[in-house]
Amino acid sequence: MLSGKDRSKTGKVVSVLKNADSARVIVEGLNKVKKNQRPKKQGQKGQIIELERPVHISAVQLICSSCGKATRVSHKTEGQNKVRICKKCGAVI
C-alpha cells in the first residue's frame, strides 16, 4: 500500500473490481473495517464482523519477487511471450 492507514504494509490482491467510475482492488488483510451485523433469525445474536474494503488501484503497487521492493512494471516480448519486467532491478516478474 502506498497511502492510507495501512501504508507500507503488504498483502495479496484477492480481487479486482473494474467499473467505469472507479478501478479498485481488495487486498488480503488490509483496509479492514468493522461492521455490525444484525441477527438473521429470531433468537440469534448480532455480531461485529471485520471486512476488507476495496482501495483504489493507484494506492497499491507491485512488489518485485527478486529485489523485494515496490516497483513499476515494464513489458518486453521474448519470442512470442510477453513478460513483465521490474523497473528497479530488471528481473522478470
Q: What is the pLDDT of residue 21?
A: 81
Ranges of the chain whose pLDDT falls below 50: none
| Same domain flag for 47 and 70 | no
Q: How far is Cα 91 from Cα 9, in angstroms, rounded to an integer?
A: 23
Q: What is the pLDDT of residue 93?
A: 85
| Same domain flag for 42 and 86 | no
| Same domain flag for 13 and 47 | yes
- Long-range CB contacts (within 8 A, 24+) of 13-19: 13/60, 14/52, 16/57, 17/54
> How many CA atoms, within 13 angstroms, populate the side-chain half-sphere of residue 26?
10
50 touches 37 (CB < 8 A): no
Q: What is the pLDDT of residue 19?
A: 83
Expressed as residue numbers, the domain containing 80 is 63-93
Query: β-pairing, 55-56 with 47-52?
Result: unpaired
Q: What is the pTM of this model?
A: 0.74
- How many domains is the chain partitioned into structurally? 2
